[in-house]
Amino acid sequence: MSMIAIVYFSATGNTHQMATAIAEGVQKAGQTAILLRITGEQIQEGRWSDADVMETLNAADAIVFGSPTYMGGVAAQFKAFIDAASEAWFAQQWKDKLAAGFTHSSSLSGDKQGTLIYLAVNAAQHAMIWVNAGDMPSHYLGKTDGVNRLGSFMGVMGQSPMASDDQEVTIDSGDRLTCVNFGERLANATAQWTPTSN
């Protein structure tokens, strides 16, 4: 059985709900998903550190990276994790693992494509294999389930209006379904991929 690690940051909870839905899809397809949530508390003087998270990532068959889109890019807290993972990069420990990405923001477009591209650029530095999203926008197919309603291809996008800090957030049902599908796609891709010890 493959293990897919989903490492992400979430402030208000939307990105967390996306992570949970992706994990659900992974499990539906018979693989194991582990959720790893990055927090501000793990950051000291701008530097992130958490040995357990790194160990789990090193052991994973695939890593899914997720962050809200803040000011046109990944959240600083998530970037702190990415920078700390340069240790794994220098040793190319994640080479040939599968990778994928997801993001959330409050606008329909909202520079989310740039965040997904950045996540793919980071995975490229790690010499990983990037699994793109697999669902066509459902409205192209005459469906109304909201799957890929935003038209995203490099990874999965979610969008919800800004919530006040004490409000419960709930992601869009179409976005949720897109995440579940993507989890299944990733689980299947992991099963189809036989990494060698290059």
Segment near a copy of itself (CB under 8 A), from 27-35, 54-62, 149-157, 165-173? 149-157
Q: Are 11 and 41 in contact (CB under 8 A)?
A: no
Element spanning 118, H or E:
helix 112-125
What is the nearest approach in angstroms of a copy of itself to the Cβ of residue 173?
A: 16
Amino acid at 178: T
| Burial (CB count <10 Å: 0-12, 13-18, 19+), residue 90 | exposed
What is the nearest approach in angstroms of a copy of itself to the Cβ of residue 59?
A: 19
Q: Which of residues 50-69 bind a copy of itself (CB under 8 A)?
A: none
C-alpha to C-alpha distances, 148 to 11, 82, 94, 167, nearest whole angstrom? 23, 27, 29, 25
- Quick one: tokens of 32? 């194991």
Q: Of 6 and 75, which has the nearer Cβ to a copy of itself? A: 75
Q: Of 12 and 188, which has the nearer Cβ to a copy of itself? A: 188
Site string for a copy of itself, 85-124 (x = CB under 8 A): xx--x--x--xx--------xxxxxxxxxx--xx-xxxxx
145 scored as a contact of a copy of itself (CB under 8 A): no
Q: Which of residues 28-47 bind a copy of itself (CB under 8 A)?
A: 39-43, 45-47
Report the Cα 153 to chain-centroid distance in Å.
13
Spatial separation of the C-alpha atoms in residues 45 and 63, rounded to whole Å: 26
What is the nearest approach in angstroms of a copy of itself to the Cβ of residue 86?
A: 6
Contacts of 45 (CB under 8 A, 6+ apart): none
What is the nearest approach in angstroms of a copy of itself to the Cβ of residue 57?
A: 14
Q: Are strands 32-38 and 3-9 parallel, antiparallel or unpaired?
A: parallel
Q: Are strands 156-159 and 98-105 parallel, antiparallel or unpaired?
A: parallel
75 scored as a contact of a copy of itself (CB under 8 A): yes
193 scored as a contact of a copy of itself (CB under 8 A): yes
How many residues of this chain interact with a copy of itself, rule: CB under 8 A? Answer: 76
Q: Which of residues 161-180 bind a copy of itself (CB under 8 A)?
A: 161-162
Q: Of 109 and 170, which has the nearer Cβ to a copy of itself? A: 109
Size (the chain), residues: 198
